[in-house]
């Protein structure tokens, strides 16, 4: 649905970004900026991202972002990257990025906020305000479904029908090999990554407990996203990639696959 290069071009045309060549890896952590890689690679040890005893290196390459979640949440920028060749990036000011998200439509802003929360593995807080606004805006089009513990909500390869919102209970995701990938609870979303990328689900989703799940149809969600500026669309697509990467790292011990970049 989205062309990263086209989004970056759109962001640059609005004066929000600048092309830069990084030769000193410490430059990546100096200022309140987010970097979108257009050429080259940056390396970081996985144990710097997760304190899980992982002994391998994570590679960030073309199409990946650096410090997006940190900029959105104003968290410290203390990763120690290694680069072995000049790294070409598009740099975006963190304050401009946060301002764009804060003034975006409430659905897209909430998906971004929810994703950042999950990237940092923060226990979700109830979000009654969002739920009330969700009902107000979409009560005529959102479909509510009830699932019993163990019920399949959707499986790998099925067409993405829309954005799922958990109003009660919890669900869990599994890989094709049956390995647990993530667990989501009340006020979490799921299904957004496949909806905004391939259009096909890449994970199985099961109800962990009895749960109530609202489904906002794909056309409505995509229409909401298309209303946003190129900068907000760029943030949305890339924060979902970051979340996907973090989930892979957290559950990599359950898989034999060597996960690569966040794309």
In angstroms, rounded to a whole number, what is the distance separating the alpha carbons of residues 35 and 27?
11
| pLDDT tens-digit readout, 41-66 | 999 865 555 444 444 578 899 999 99
Given this model, what pLDDT does residue 35 score? 96
Render pLDDT for 115-129 as a digit per residue (tens, 0 to 9): 998 888 766 555 566
Number of domains forming the structure of the chain: 2
Residue ranges making up the domain that contains 163: 106-227
Q: Is residue 16 part of a domain?
A: yes
d(CA 108, CA 152): 26
Using CA atoms, how far apart are residues 42 and 62, in angstroms rounded to an integer?
Answer: 10
When mean pLDDT is compared across 86-90, 213-217, 254-258, the lowest value belongs to 254-258
Q: The domain that contains 36 carries what CATH number? A: 2.60.120.10
In a domain, 113, yes or no: yes
112 and 75 assigned to the same domain = no
Q: Which of 85, 102, 119 is the last residue of a domain?
A: 102
Q: Do residues 183 and 196 share a domain?
A: yes
Q: Over the stretch 177-186, which tens digit does the pLDDT of each residue have?
A: 888 878 899 8
CB-based contact 34:91 (threshold 8 Å):
yes
Q: What is the 3-state secondary structure (H, E, C) of 32-92?
A: CEEEEEEECCEEEEHHHHCCCCCCCEEEECCCCEECHHHHHHCCCCCCCCECCCCEEEEEE
Specify the higher pLDDT residue, 232 or 198. 232
Same domain, 11 and 87: yes
Helix (H, G, I), strand (E, B) or coil at 202: coil
List, as one string, the DSSP characters of 165-182. Answer: EEEES-EEEE-TT--EEE
112 and 219, same domain (yes or no): yes
Query: Do the Cβ atoms of 246 and 44 come closer than 8 Å?
Result: no
Decide which of 67, 102, 137 is a domain's last residue: 102
Q: Enter the pTM of the model.
A: 0.85
User: What pLDDT shows up at residue 49?
Assistant: 52
Q: Which helix (H) or strand (E) holds 20?
A: strand 17-22
* pLDDT at res. 259: 35
Distance of CA 37 to the CA centre of its chain: 17
Q: Is residue 59 part of a domain?
A: yes
Integer-rounded Cα radius of gyration of the chain: 18
- Beta-strand (E) ranges in 177-226? 180-184, 189-190, 204-207, 211-217
Alpha-carbon gap, residue 160 to 192, rounded angstroms: 9
Q: What pLDDT does residue 24 have?
A: 94
Residue 78 has pLDDT above 70, yes or no: yes
Q: Looking at 102, 119, 147, which one is the last position of a domain?
A: 102
Q: Are residues 186 and 156 in the same domain?
A: yes
Do 95 and 174 have their domain in common? no
Per the CB < 8 A criterion, the answer to whether 256 and 230 are in contact is: no
pLDDT at res. 261: 37
In the chain, pLDDT over 90 holds for what percent of residues?
57
CA distance between the termini of the chain: 14
pLDDT above 90 (res 31): yes
Same domain for 84 and 112?
no
20 within domain boundaries:
yes
């Amino acid at each position: 649905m989205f062309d990263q290069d086209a989004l970056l071009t759109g962001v640059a045309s609005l004066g929000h970004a600048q092309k830069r060549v990084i030769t000193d890896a410490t430059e990546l952590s100096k200022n309140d900026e987010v970097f979108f890689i257009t050429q080259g690679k940056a390396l970081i040890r996985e144990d710097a991202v997760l304190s899980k005893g992982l002994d391998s290196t994570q590679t960030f390459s073309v199409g990946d972002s650096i410090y997006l979640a940190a900029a959105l949440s104003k968290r410290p920028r203390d990763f120690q990257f290694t680069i072995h060749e000049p790294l070409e990036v598009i740099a975006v000011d963190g304050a401009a990025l946060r301002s764009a998200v804060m003034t975006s439509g409430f659905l897209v802003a909430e998906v971004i906020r929810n994703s950042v929360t999950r990237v940092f593995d923060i226990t979700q807080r109830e979000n009654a305000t969002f739920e009330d606004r969700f009902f107000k805006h979409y009560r005529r089009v959102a479909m509510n479904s009830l699932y019993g513990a163990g019920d399949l909500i959707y499986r790998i390869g099925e067409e993405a029908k829309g954005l799922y919102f958990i109003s009660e209970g919890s669900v869990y995701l599994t890989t094709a090999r049956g390995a647990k990938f993530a667990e989501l609870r009340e006020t979490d979303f799921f299904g957004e990554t496949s909806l905004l990328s391939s259009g096909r689900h890449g994970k199985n989703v099961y109800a962990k407990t009895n749960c109530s799940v609202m489904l906002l149809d794909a056309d409505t969600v995509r229409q909401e996203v298309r209303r946003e500026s190129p900068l907000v669309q760029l943030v949305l697509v890339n924060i979902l990639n970051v979340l996907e990467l973090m989930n892979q790292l957290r559950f990599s011990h359950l898989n034999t696959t060597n996960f690569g970049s966040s794309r």
